[in-house]
Every structure is written in structure tokens, then in C-alpha cells.
Amino acid sequence: EIMLTQSPATLSLSPGERVTLSCRASPSVSSYLAWYQQKPGQAPRLLIYDTSNRATGIPARFSGSGSGTDFTLTISSLEPEDFAVYYCLRRSTWPSLTFGGGTKVEIK
Amino acid sequence: EVQLVESGGGLVQPGGSLRLSCAASGFTFSSYSMNWVRQAPGRGLEWVSYISSSSNSIYYADSVKGRFIISRDNAKNSLYVQMNSLRHEDTAVYYCARVRLGYPDYWGQGTLVTVSS
């Protein structure tokens, strides 16, 4: 069974700062990892898939990297609309789909 | 524009049943696999169930196996989940989500299911 551990649970930052979020997989998930953003009262939005590919319409300030067991989502300069919860997800390996526990990025 | 609209949520007593629907538009529904994903109040995301485009492959999370039944009607561009023997811990917002390249890409706005006496 795949486990995805996100850290930290909460980050307190200011607009304009650079953000690095971590997702650790056990065991390895190769490059099959995605990142989602969720704002309060909204559905999750796909940001990054297959580790580093931006989804349609996602700004260039969002980037993903990593492989195997360690993955990173980077926001180069936080915009006010980026304060949200971020989840990582291992690509479908049926019969299950695994989400990480999430990292909340809040305003400092 | 891809749109997914869930409906059917509400308040139900423990042990009761509920059927959720997801109406799809803006894409060729019959070409895509679909998921149900839920989120308990204040909690993270939990995958619930998957159905392939032709309904040939169906999977469930262990937490709902034997109680929930996923189905689809490609002629009506609709996805469903029949939820039986509901428990307090099934209380959540339920999202339908399209699958593309192995990932849920588009999500509906969700429908709230509350299991309480």
C-alpha cells in the first residue's frame, strides 16, 4: 500500500515569499505524482501531474520536481490567491488511489 | 467547458440509503473513467470509488466496499453512487471527478451527505 506523507502540516508565509512543499512516498511511486490546490468551500484543482507537468491554465510560478520517494511543489512567489491547502496524489494504481494528508499555506 | 454537477446529498439516518448523481457536460463522457472522492468536515481527501469508461472495471475503497455501488449511464452523461448502510463516518462532501492520464483532473463542486439521527 502506498503512503504519502506531506510536510509541514502548516506553513505561515507572507505574499511574495517562495514556498516549498514536500511529499514523501513509501514505497517509490516513480514519477507518478500530482499536486492539487484546494481553497475553502471549493473543489480541489489539479496543478501538477507526473511530477512536473503543469495542468491547463496553471501559472508558471507553480512547479514540481522529484522522483521515486521525494517530491516538491514550489511556488516561486506567493500571490494572495495561493493561500490554500495543497495535496499530493499518487497516480491511479487500481484498486486504490492515495492522497497525502495536505499542507495548509496560511497568511503570516 | 468541462462541467460536473453533483446532486442528491442530504441528511440521512444511520443505516439509511442515499443515491448521488453527477451530471457531466462539456466533454465526451463515455470516453473517460470517473471517480467519487469524499472529504469529511475539516479533513483531507479520501478516494471512494472508480469506474472505467465502459463500466468494465470498478473499484472501491475498503471503507465503503459492500455498501456503496458506483454506476454510470453514458447515454445520459451521468455518474452515480448508491450508498447503503450509511454510517456516521460517511458524513462528507462527495465529489465526482473525471480521470485523465490516471489523475482526477476536473472535479464537481461537491454535494454534502450528513449521516445523523
Query: Could you say which of B47, B57, B101 has the minimum Cβ distance to residue A97?
Result: B47
Mean pLDDT of B5-17: 98
Per-residue pLDDT band for A92 (boundaries 50, 70, 90) equals: low
- Read off the pLDDT of residues B46-95 as tens digits, 9 standing for 90 and up: 999 999 999 999 999 999 999 999 999 999 999 999 999 999 999 999 99
Report the alpha-carbon distance of residue A73 to residue A40 in Å, rounded. Answer: 20
Report the alpha-carbon distance of residue B4 to residue A10 in Å, rounded. Answer: 30
Predicted pLDDT of residue A28? 87
Compute the nearest-CA separation of B50 from chain A (Å): 8
- Per the prediction, chain A carries an average pLDDT of 94
| Residue B6 grid cell | 453533483
- Read off the pLDDT of residues B98-115 as tens digits, 9 standing for 90 and up: 999 989 999 999 999 999
- Most A-contacting residue of B103, B105, B109, B112 (CB-CB within 10 A), to test interface: B103
Distances (CA, A) of A98 to A18, A32, A61, B19: 27, 11, 26, 24
Per-residue pLDDT band for A57 (boundaries 50, 70, 90) equals: very high
Torsion of CA A46, A52, A56, A57, to 10 degrees: 90
Query: Could you say which of A32, A44, A49 has the minimum Cβ distance to residue B45?
Result: A44
- Per the prediction, chain B carries an average pLDDT of 97
| Residue A2 grid cell | 502506498
Query: Could you say which of A38, A42, A99 has the minimum Cβ distance to residue B47?
Result: A99
Nearest alpha-carbon partner for B34 in B90, B81, B86, B82:
B81
CB A49 within 8 A of CB A76: no
Choice between A65 and A2, residue whose per-residue pLDDT is larger: A65
Residue of B nearest to A54 (CA): B105
pLDDT at A29 over 80: yes
- Type of residue at B43: R
Predicted pLDDT of residue A96? 78
Predicted pLDDT of residue A91? 83
How does DSSP assign A27-64, residue by residue?
S--TT-EEEEEE-TTS--EEEEETTTEEPTT--TTEEE
